[in-house]
Amino acid sequence: MGPLPARRATFVIDGDRRLVRSIRSETNMLTHADDALDALRALAD
């Protein structure tokens, strides 16, 4: 049995403690990170 795929979940929460975005990925770490950064940038606008 080989290594299991990494599972990631990132939750972007605003200043009022509301969930803004939930990002889940099992395969592409770079896309996962880009999606999380896009959500954070949208909060800053």
The reply to whether 36 falls in a domain is yes
pLDDT in tens, the chain (45 residues): 677 666 789 999 999 999 999 998 877 787 888 999 999 999 988
Q: Report the number of distinct structural domains present in the chain.
A: 1
The reply to whether 22 falls in a domain is yes
Full 3-state SS string of the chain:
CCCCCCCEEEEEECCCCCEEEEEEECCCHHHHHHHHHHHHHHHHC
What is the domain range of residue 21?
A: 8-44
Q: pTM of the entire structure? A: 0.71
**What CA–CA distance (Å, rounded) separates 19 from 21?**
6
